[in-house]
Amino acid sequence: DAKTTQPPSMDCAEGRAANLPCNHSTISGNEYVYWYRQIHSQGPQYIIHGLKNNETNEMASLIITEDRKSSTLILPHATLRDTAVYYCIVRAPMDSNYQLIWGAGTKLIIKP
């Protein structure tokens, strides 16, 4: 079973910040939080990952709570092309078991 819980769907207005929450209350100390997204009919695309510090890249920002039991992915200025299913995954990068365990994700719809 997936180790994360995400809302099944969210809406956001174009140009506004999209904030996608993820609960991972059973996260272990060596597990990272990864975010991927999947645009319709395409393979998943890596967005960002972090351990405990907040992270930012050209696509998004990742805010992880101090207790690491939840996180938020922020798309600062959402565009229509950001409409996708967003997946939050936790895993330890150095696990010998390299598979990712995926939940159902959050379907984000950006509205004009």
Residues that bind other proteins (CB under 8 A): 2, 32, 34, 36, 41-46, 49, 87, 91, 93-95, 97-105
Cα–Cα dist 12/16, whole Å: 7
Distance, CA of 91 to CA of 110 (rounded, Å): 29
Q: Tell the smallest beta-carbon distance from residue 67 to other proteins (Å).
A: 22
| Positive/negative CA dihedral, 72, 100, 91, 28 | positive
Query: In angstroms, what is the minimal distance from the CB of 94 to other proteins?
Result: 6
User: Which one, 2 or 10, has the nearer CB to other proteins?
Assistant: 2
Asked if 11 contacts 97 with a C-beta cutoff of 8 angstroms, the reply is no
Query: Cβ 105 to other proteins, closest distance in Å?
Result: 6
Residue 43 or 112: the one with the smaller Cβ distance to other proteins is: 43
